[in-house]
Amino acid sequence: MASRPRRPRAAAPPRDGLARRRLPMRLLLPMLVLVALVAMLMLRGYVHSEILADHRIQPEAATDKVPEKILEGGPVIDTRSGRATSLRVPDHRLVLTFDDGPDPTWTPKVLDVLAKHHAHAVFFVTGTMASRYPELVDRMVREGHEVGLHTFNHPDLSYQSDKRIDWELSTNQLAITGAAGIRTSLFRPPYSSFADAMDDKSWPVTEYIGSRGYITVVNDTDSEDWKKPGVEEIIRRATPHDGKGAIVLMHDSGGDRRQTVQALDRFLPGLQSEGYKFENLTEALGAPSALTPVTGPELWQGKAWIFLVRVSDDITGVLVVGLAVIGALVIGRFALMLLLSGIHARRVRRRGFGWGPAVTEPVSVLVPAYNEAKCIENTVRSLTASEHPVEVIVIDDGSTDGTARIVESLGLPGVRVIRQRNAGKPAALNRGLANASHDLIVMMDGDTVFEPATVRELVQPFGDPRVGAVAGNAKVGNRDSLIGAWQHIEYVMGFNLDRRMYDVLRCMPTIPGAVGAFRRSALERVGGMSDDTLAEDTDITMALHRDGWRVVYAENARAWTEAPESVQQLWSQRYRWSYGTMQAIWKHRRALVERGPSGRFGRVGLPLVSLFMVVAPLLAPLIDVFLLYGVVFGPTQKTVVAWLGVLGIQAFCAAYAFRLDRERMSHLISLPLQQLLYRQLMYVVLLQSWITAVTGGRLRWQKLRRTGAVAAPGGPGQRRRTHHAGDRRPVA
């Protein structure tokens, strides 16, 4: 999984303007995945949701525009030829019709009863239900029943435009075609009744439906089974008088249809004994079948629709599981952070707490630097102002901007410069380690500023001989911009509160490159810094755990850094971090099955790091995706309340973290926006890292632009500037 980084090659100039705008495949893929997931959710929501349906019902209107022969005619209305005609079902013929299905519970029971009594019927299906349960539509057709259109979303068409009517018909037809491979010419309007109920609002719709090639079918008797009046009453209302033929209205969906099934099982044999035949509509009328087989592109379009609906259901099911997982992870992580960080805070602040004898011995501070001309003077001056005795070693890693010359020109006591050809940060740190004079080693980035007390606070845990490394408290200095404020929240809450938790659990995953200290003997035992991964700080920390050393957190060892100020720079930084973390986890995976300290870290630390630093960020956007889904498709109120509940938990944890770090709470005002926007960026970055890892791609070091705009509060009055935390150099 790990890949060795290489020196970036000069990019060839684009041949034209289009080439300049082309997105890299590893950036394009995660964005396409995100768009595809959202599209699948939207499709699923549209097919399933009742929120989008128009439930308005037109009140009764005048009938003066409706032909008298229609009002007094039969329930089958044909306006296809431009002339309105109507038909009745012959005597002793009954056409059972079932609306609003298919339903996965009740439609199979209705079909079973019809098969039991050798009866046929007509099922007027909606597009939403046919799309979700196509196998039931297919069964209807295979068993000799007819199907008809009942629109896609069941609106009253008298309120709809011609364009909307066409869409309702065509999408309903598309679902039926995909389900059973047929077209139908039968149509029943939602909320329809008897022919004499046709009025000036519904009649123009009926005429338009005929112009589109459909026969409108209403009914003679209405069982009113949707009212659940009882089995006897359903049979009474459905039964025609004096042996006349009839089209009977029933329902196989829309609620509990137990009474309908029971009534049907008695209604069929009862009327069959009186000489009635139960046929589909064209059988009863002696007409050609209303169902026509479909072939070619139209059939494949229908099958594609059914396939996409099924895929959207399956994907949504997986995403719901993912949402449950991320919910458990978020709540579990917050609970752990609150509990364990509280224990950590009480432990380090209680009277008499100490790591052992005070550490006063000199320290070697290693400053790897690659093109740090804008920042290096302030970095070095902040070290010479330290309250603790330090030796400063600046390792110039092949800079081309005069970084080494600037340091040498300062003439500061206790500061040495070592030059080497560009070999990368791990090689620079190892070179510095070989030239260090002292047993305690502090490592920092060449763009970071220390407070006077930082080194002293950072090395005090070495009073305990079991401690092999110490993580400091990296702080964002440029927090006045929106993206800076978001990272400030992330550093205080996501990193430092996490470090307190990991400290108590004794599985700290990362010593930050901006501020960390090591025991020389611990580094030498694990082979020094490695360039196997892009996250050398995480790699060395895991190696120390596996070697049996304690890694702890010194919250008062503060270092000030300038976080990326643009999305592009933030993207580059987090891409390296996430990919490097995956590499480190993969590299140390054998710890899962080893014994001793390595096994303890492998079975405690690696799962937590994997869950909280890889899985949780990857799944976190589901919270916002389902927020969008719930707002659009419902239930809106419950969705918003649930999202606000999660945000409230995060805000509480963030406020607690800010209190522990003694930070002003005013920056938390941007927390809701951070959760809506920042999380999506981190998702795409992490997904891109996954794609890089799975495809075996290689990630280059990228130099971030510096502004040198951050100064550490307090301390000497010299101007202090720094830049991006974790900025790294290209390597050979």
Q: Residues with catalytic annotation?
A: 99, 251
The alpha carbon of residue 613 and the mean position of all alpha carbons in its chain are separated, in whole angstroms, by 15
Question: Could you tell me where the beta strands, DSSP code E, fall in 33-92?
Answer: 76-78, 85-87
Altogether, the residues listed in the chain come to a count of 732
The answer to whether the bond into 67 is cis (omega within 30° of 0) is: no
Q: Phi first, then psi: what are they for 672, rounded to 5°?
A: -60, -40
Task: Check if the beta carbon of residue 661 is closer than 8 Å to that of residue 555.
Answer: yes
Q: Please tell me whether residue 38 adopts helix, strand or coil conformation.
A: helix
How big is the CA angle at 503 (ends 554 and 559), to the nearest 5 degrees?
30
Q: Is 10 exposed, middle or buried (0-12, 13-18, 19+ CB in 10 A)?
A: exposed
- Contacts of 594-598 with CB under 8 Å at 24 or more apart are 594/546, 596/548, 597/545, 597/546, 597/547, 597/548, 598/545, 598/546, 598/547, 598/548
Closest CA to 99 of 239, 254, 221, 215: 254
Structure tokens at 521: 């003997």
Q: Phi first, then psi: what are they for 345, rounded to 5°?
A: -65, -40
Q: Please tell me whether residue 474 adopts helix, strand or coil conformation.
A: strand
Task: Check if the beta carbon of residue 439 is closer than 8 Å to that of residue 361.
Answer: yes
Measured from the Cβ of residue 57, the count of other Cβ atoms closer than 10 Å reads 11
Task: Check if the beta carbon of residue 214 is closer than 8 Å to that of residue 185.
Answer: yes
